[in-house]
Structure 1
């Protein structure tokens, strides 16, 4: 079972929080797949990651740029295939309320949701219940004054 973490954004928007989390994955030698809800958001995130100041280098690719196996970070609107992420990622980031039918293909899932959007919070609670019922190890993280704080 995957370790499934819910990341409650309360202090910074996703565009600021995500790069730091991705940087941690890369610093640990990992690979990530980031799943978004729309092509427009994917293209905006693609551009933002190339100009991100912290960390200043987040090598990544998209279906448009291709070469998934060579990409440490893969941005997509598609779910992982039966064999997992096309770039061999063991970390799955779910943004904008998207879900995955291939959670078992990953060691860790990071579900980021906007705490300022009540619909997003309600949907995250539903995803939590479904992940718990599926037997995943769950963790809840919330942004605090000194960064991410794990809550009980």
Structure 2
């Protein structure tokens, strides 16, 4: 019975990832509330980044852990944070700004910038009225002390 449950869960998650891949190309910013991204929307944006970075997001052994919460609130204020796990190995920690869609790999303090993501972020900015923070301010928000690796 446990094996069937695990297989069902894996198939369900794989289906969600496959559906998520198309999300980036069709991201509808009109669904973003003025208060910002839901955890699900942030997850979809993270999947766009992961695909850009060469992760095989359709692989059922790849999954997202999160969003991480502390006392019911985002672990980093203003960000939905996730771990990316392949089988049982953590591939990295990522955070998505709730108001702007800014995406960071939080261990290396790497900010992601590429055309498809910028297009999504412009749509989010139209809904929230907020633009991406400059690099220094965003680093401070995340607690990044060093330059990116």
TM-score by length of 2: 0.31
Structure scoring higher RCO (CA < 8 A, sep ≥ 6) equals: 1
Is the radius of gyration larger for structure 1 or structure 2? Answer: 2
The structure with the largest strand share of the pair is: 1
TM-score by length of 1: 0.31
